[in-house]
Amino acid sequence: MNTSLIIAVIAVIVVVCVALLVWQRVMGGSRRLRRHFGPEYERTVRRHDGNTRAAEQDLSERLKHHRHLELRDIGEEPRERYAAEWALVQERFVDTPAEAVVKADRLLAEAARDRGFPSDGYEEQVSALSVHHPRQVTAYREVHAVAVRAGEGRAETEELRRALLHGREFLDSLLEPTAHDGHKPRLGRGTGHGTRREHTGEHTGTAAAGDGHGHRHGGGLGQRLTHALSPRRGAAPHGRERGHEHSHNRERGTAT
């Protein structure tokens, strides 16, 4: 085998090895991004019209920009205040659902700011939230979008209800204390404690609504909102009873 052929074979081997290393690095980066962002990864790919490379570049930039964000535990007293304010939002929903969701959107933005997330605009804040809360940030986007439509008078009651339910879960994740703080107040139950649920991008209505114990404590958000929005039972039967009573009285008058 002559020298030129040996050099050519070595060059091909080197090129193949380099290509394999690059491919492994790219695939490893893709897997890490998928694992970290979960449903946010798929959403970003859709946002870039299926262009995976552009989506991963977007997500990588977010990680680079927000990964080392110094978040802070807001403390027990502010958590209690947010719990109380959210309870007022729930009460407001019964009479003015659109105003309640607009208020909920502002409350979530304020809670995110107090936790140390950027406060210079919704887009920057949600970008940082997508890095640290990738499985819950879908709910924040939903609340914000519905609040915008509500402000324009275009939101339906059902989407307002869903947004408020999912927003409660997102607020719960925001208010979760740091590891050294053993007290974990929760929203949506009379005792102030509840169960955290992750957002996967698939909302399940009543499954996302409450903690499964609202009926025992009388303060479950899911149960209260569902009850507030459900048609009042007994209205039609009551009307029929009144008609029957009127007919009965008329028969008695005729008999006399």
State the helix-helix crossing angle for 157-175 and 97-114, rounded to 10 degrees. Answer: 20
Q: Which amino acid, residue 86?
A: W
CA–CA distance, 180 with 131 (Å, rounded to integer): 22
Residue 250: per-residue pLDDT: 46
Residue 112: per-residue pLDDT: 96
Residue 45: per-residue pLDDT: 95
Question: Which parts of the chain register pLDDT below 70?
Answer: 1, 4-29, 178-256
Residue 37: per-residue pLDDT: 93
Residue 153: per-residue pLDDT: 94
Tokens of 199: 């957002």
CA–CA distance, 104 with 161 (Å, rounded to integer): 11
The model's pTM is 0.62
Q: What's phi and psi for 119, nearest 5 deg? A: -120, 15
Residue 201: per-residue pLDDT: 39
